[in-house]
Chain A
Amino acid sequence: MDLFATIFVDGLIYAAWLFIVSVGLTLVFGVLNILNIAHGSLYAIGAYTSASMVGAYFGVGGDAFPWGSYVALIAAAILVALVMGPLLERGLLRFFYGRDEVLNVLVTYAVFLILEDAMKLIWGVNPYYVYEPYTLLGDVELGSLFYVGYDFAVIAIAIVVGLAVWMSLNRTRTGKVVLAVIHDPEMSRTMGVNVPRIYLGAFVAGAFLAALGGAVTAPMISVQPGLGVNVIIVAFAVVIIGGLGSIPGAAIGALMVGISRAASVHLLPEAELFIIYFVMAIVLMFRPEGLFAKTQARKI
């Protein structure tokens, strides 16, 4: 396969994974105005939960119908969102709405550290494997290279997630209410919008997307402590490039990071890490608010 086609395919696969991980982060920031560092922990909990659930599925005779493991992956993400979303948003974050953004970063960082240790208490330090869903879809031959079919399924999931989030926000009544809350929560409240419910819904959706990222990643890797740290750093780079709070921005940011990283690995491997942050720096030089974030006037 042509080098540039290989770079494009590799970049697309990586970008798809990045987008799934990042879109929840940008959604939570857009609605709640919270830069949620604990997003990385929710990703890791999604990976652990899906590893446990898929493992349990095959443990109770799932071999007879292995496709059911995909249902277990999605169910794990839903479970994490329904448990962790309300717990964090209602139990902690709501007390910090309207406070300084830096304080919220510190609060979510504290949550991140607590959850890292909580995961060790629950799942221990030994790795978990759920490779079965990774190989179920077979191989895809592109030119002289083989790809795993699962990688293309991740691209499909990213497209579905992107469209679903965009359509929900822009083509539904609830979405318009959410946009109203983003624009002006106080005015929305006076118009009868249940703002705390919107905040809760948005945070649960963000938690689901983080956990979904972890769940779809689990079959590809050895799930073990420390997963969340690496993810949150690169996810921040993506949403900062795209503009905090912008869904299309997250998509473009993921594509830029994915393809530039793939190009670097193929053409200049020494710069693999550098290139991601170089792209981010270039974007911020010309668009300090990111590619798609709207410039906002300071209120005071």
Chain B
Amino acid sequence: MKQTIRTICATLALATGLSAPAMAQDDTFKIGVITFLSGQAAESFGVPAWNGGQLLIDMLNEGGKLPAPYDKPGFGGMKIEAIVVDEAGGATKQVQEFRNLVQREQVDAVVGYVSSSDCLAVPPVADELKAFTILYDCGTPRVFEDNSFEYVFRTAAHATMDNVGLARYLKSRGFEVDSFAGLNQDYAWGQDSWADFTGAMAQLYSDATVKTALFPKFGAGQYGTEISALLREKPALIHSSNWGGDLQSFLLQATARGLHKRTQLALSAGDHVIPQLQDKMPDGIVLGARGVNGLLAKARGGDLQPLTDTLWDSYMERYGVIPVQAPFRMWQGLLGLKMAVEKAMDDNGGKKPTDEELAAAMKGLSWDAPSGRIEMALGGGHQAIQPTAIGVTKWNNETKMMELVDIEYFDARCVNPPEGMKSQDWLAQGFPGAQCD
């Protein structure tokens, strides 16, 4: 009997050992990538981001495909292995997925999250598990303005930058705005974007009045009544942070009714609908891309052009479509992770870094990305700032491609609050400390 029990125990132990995930190896660096692979954010953000991520990982593993300092293979010579997880399903599910990645899959780092609610839910768990985590996309400023985390970093600027950049562009380019209106999705992203935009406009166009602020529900699809209201109110400018299908539907319906001919449309995050709409997107729309991303990066020139061209050309070659904002943000996150890993390895004598060593290396780090110089300058070195740009849509009838013209670039410190100051306070006080030379 005792022999039988011992045999069963041994078999179970062996089976458990075989089925357990492979222990982290020193010659590979395992990352968990979380982004939307289904649902409404998949087509606009999640899928292009993961496409960009796969592309970059393949190129890094091959080595020598990117300009210096990214020409060394993998992360510090370690092969990069990625496990991708769908972000759809809500914050509770994502917390569980995060635990699975860290505890069962034993990833060395997590890179993820488009949704602001996921970005607010995951960091406390990341700190609890002491798991190095990069938030690569989400926009809410609250992650590091209301909290502090040891193991969590955000490698993209928060959303205040988008709307401050938009308002500064209007002022700089001499748009006469005596009144404006908003059409934003009725959830945190839309509400926060509108608050940031009105805060910036109050400083730059103090006499401008708000005609109406519309918040149709997320996924509304039909905007006929809202378009009538906007046509009746006749604001000089309409602000929208809408994205994805909501933005596409709004543009299709608004242009059919001539809204864009009567008022100036300004879309703070609209570049990602260009590949789908192409010539259905009217000329003359003031457009942002949440950073110097997509067409705004392609048109920039300068020292970073080889890196931007590498992303642009390789993405076009593999996927047959222009890269919009999402792959740019994924690249800046992964390139930041590469720099942090290699910096930590320089400090520890070339060993695979621990989560603590990675966090120490990432804190306050700065690096070049296709979207510009990324600096972990806010949130005690955990929150990035980056330059941004705004342009105007113009259809090129010869190339049959949408272009952005009249582009203006803004330094990171011109459109982001300084360290230690909350975004809303910065806006209310008239951008103290902004450096816009």
Query: A residues within 8 Å of B by Cβ?
Result: 1, 3, 6, 9-11, 13-14, 17, 120, 125-127, 129, 131, 134-135, 139, 144-148, 151, 217, 220-222, 224-227, 229-230, 261-262, 265-266, 269-270, 272-273
Contact = CB atoms under 8 A, between A and B. Distances in A.
Given A129-B276, A146-B231, A139 B257 contact: yes
Contact of A222 (B37, B226, B252): B252
Nearest 5 pairs between A and B by C-beta? A222-B248, A10-B225, A221-B249, A222-B245, A265-B225
Contacts of A14: 222, 224-225
Q: Helix, strand, loop or mixed for chain A's interface?
A: helix
B256 A148 contact: yes
Contacts of B214: 265, 269, 272
Interface of B is mostly: helix
B43 A125 contact: yes
A270 B182 CA distance: 12
A9 B229 CA distance: 12
Contacts of B305: none
Contacts of A224: 40, 43, 244-245
B253 interface: yes
B43 A127 contact: yes
Given A129-B252, A146-B231, 19 more contacts: A6-B228, A6-B232, A11-B225, A17-B222, A125-B43, A129-B276, A129-B280, A131-B256, A135-B256, A144-B231, A222-B244, A222-B252, A225-B38, A226-B39, A265-B214, A265-B228, A266-B229, A269-B212, A269-B213
Contacts of A1: 232
B258 interface: yes
28 contacts: A6-B228, A6-B232, A10-B224, A13-B225, A17-B222, A125-B37, A125-B43, A125-B47, A126-B47, A127-B43, A129-B277, A129-B280, A134-B252, A134-B256, A144-B232, A147-B224, A151-B224, A221-B222, A221-B248, A221-B249, A222-B245, A224-B40, A226-B219, A261-B225, A265-B226, A269-B214, A270-B215, A272-B215
Contact of A225 (B40, B224, B256, B257): B40
A114 to B, nearest CB: 15
Contacts of B277: 129
A1 B224 CA distance: 15
Contacts of B220: 230
A8 to B, nearest CB: 11
Contacts of B245: 127, 221-222, 224, 226
B381 interface: no
Given A145-B231, A270-B215, A272-B216, A131 B224 contact: no
B301 interface: no
A131 B186 contact: no
A285 to B, nearest CB: 24
Contacts of A134: 252, 256
A265 B229 contact: yes
Interface residues of B, number: 37
B270 to A, nearest CB: 13
Nearest to B226: A265
B42 interface: yes
Given A221-B249, A222-B249, A270-B215, A125 B38 contact: yes
B221 interface: yes
B155 to A, nearest CB: 25
A118 B219 CA distance: 20
A139 B258 contact: yes
B221 A120 contact: no
A139 B245 CA distance: 24
Contacts of A272: 214-217
B221 A225 contact: no
Contacts of B229: 265-266, 269
Contact of A273 (B38, B186, B253, B276): B186
A273 B217 contact: yes
A41 B245 CA distance: 18
Contacts of B43: 125-127, 224
Interface string B236-270: 00000000110011001100111000000000000
Nearest to A148: B256
B249 to A, nearest CB: 4
A147 B257 contact: yes
A75 to B, nearest CB: 23
A291 B366 CA distance: 65
Contacts of A144: 231-232
A1 B231 CA distance: 11
A156 B53 CA distance: 49
Nearest to B261: A146
A277 to B, nearest CB: 12
